[in-house]
Amino acid sequence: MRRKILHRNYSNQDVVDIFQDAKEIGFALNTYNLVGLPNETPQMFQETIELNFKCQPKEAQLAVFFPYPGTELYYLCLDREYIKNPFFHHHFNGKERRTPDIKYAQFSELEILNCFEKFQKLFNS
C-alpha cells in the first residue's frame, strides 16, 4: 500500500528503526496516519495500529483519507469511481478528514469510522 498508492519506498521496519534511533538520542516523534486509503482493507489498517504500538510515538494522529481535487489520488479515486459524488464532493461542509467521502467494496464507510474511533481510543484517550 505504502509503495503502490503513496509512492513511499520504506518498510515498516524502517519506520520502527527510525523511532528507536530517535528515542536513543532523546527525540520524541509523532505519527500522522490515514484511514480509508484507496485499496485499503480493515486488516491493512490493523497493521497501521500495530505499527504505531511498535513505534510508541509521543502523539499518534489520525485522519480519514480525503481525495483532494487535482492530486494523483483524486484522479485514481475518480477513475475507479470511489468518490461518492464526483460533482459536489469538494464542498467539505466542515467534515473533511473526519468522514469518508469515498465508497469501497472492501472497506465500508462504517468500517472506516469504526477504525477511526478504535484508533482514537487506543492512542488519544
pLDDT digits (tens, 9 = 90+) for 2-27: 888 899 999 999 999 999 999 999 99
Query: Maximum CA pair distance of the chain?
Result: 49
Reported pTM: 0.86
Spatial contact of 107 and 43, defined as CB atoms under 8 Å apart: no
Q: Report domain extents, the chain.
A: 12-123
| CATH code of domain 12-123 | 3.30.750.200
Residue 77, C-beta contacts closer than 8 angstroms, at least 6 positions apart: 38, 67, 83, 102
Distance CA(8)–CA(34), nearest Å, equals 14
Q: Compute CA distances 81 → 74, 76, 84, whole Å.
A: 10, 8, 8
Counting every residue written for the chain, the total comes to 125
pLDDT at 85: 73
Spatial contact of 48 and 33, defined as CB atoms under 8 Å apart: yes
Where are any strands of DSSP class E within the chain? 31-35, 60-64
pLDDT at 101: 81
pLDDT at 118: 96
C-alpha cell at 49: 495500529
pLDDT at 70: 87
Using 50 as the pLDDT threshold, list the residues of the chain that sit under it.
none
